[in-house]
A and B are shown apart, each in its own frame.
Chain A
Amino acid sequence: MIVAARLVRDRRRSLLWWSVGIVALVIFTVSLYPSLKGEESFNEVIEQMPEALRAMFGLDTAIPLTSPPGYLQGRLFGSMLPLLLLVFGIGLGARAIAGSEQDGTLELLLANPVTRRAVVVERYLAVVGMLACLTAVFAVSLVVLAAPFGALEDVPPTGLAGAVAGVFGISLLHATLAFGVGAATGRRALALSSATVVAVAGYLLQGLLGLSDAIRPLRFLSPWHWYLGRNMLAQGVAPDAIIVPLVLSAVVFAGGAAAFLRRDLR
Chain B
Amino acid sequence: MTDAAVRTEGLTKDFGAVRAVDDVNLIIDRGEVFGYLGPNGAGKTTTVRLLLDFLRPTAGRAVVLGGSGADPDVRRRIGYLPGDLRLDPDYTATDVIELFGSLRGGVDRRWVDTLLERFGLDPGRPVGELSTGNRRKVGVVQAFMSRPELLLLDEPTSGLDPLLQHQFNALVREVVAEGATVLLSSHVLPEVEALADRVGIVRKGRLVAVAGVEELRRTARQRIDLHVAGEVGEADVGRFRAVPEVAEASAEAGVVHLVVEGSVDRVLKVAAGLEVLRIVSREADLEDVFLRYYEGDE
Instruction: Spell out A's residues near B (CB within 8 Å).
Output: 2-3, 6, 10, 103-105, 107-116, 262-265
Contacts and interface: CB of A to CB of B under 8 A. Distances in A.
Contact of B54 (A2, A103, A107): A107
B223 interface: no
A108 B79 CA distance: 10
A182 B11 CA distance: 28
A127 B103 CA distance: 20
A10 B100 contact: no
B82 A112 contact: no
B80 A115 contact: no
A113 B87 contact: no
Nearest to A265: B54
B70 interface: yes
A55 B116 CA distance: 62
A257 to B, nearest CB: 15
Interface of B: 49, 52, 54-56, 70, 72-73, 75-76, 78, 80, 82, 84-88, 90, 99-100, 102-105, 142
A113 B76 CA distance: 5
A110 B54 contact: yes
Contacts, number: 60
5 contacts: A107-B49, A107-B54, A114-B72, A116-B70, A265-B49
A107 B82 contact: yes
B72 A113 contact: yes
A115 B86 CA distance: 20
Nearest to A263: B56
B86 A112 contact: no
Contacts of A113: 72-73, 75-76, 103-105
B73 A6 contact: no
B87 A112 contact: no
Given A6-B99, A111-B52, A103 B86 contact: yes
Contacts of A109: 99, 103
A115 B90 contact: no
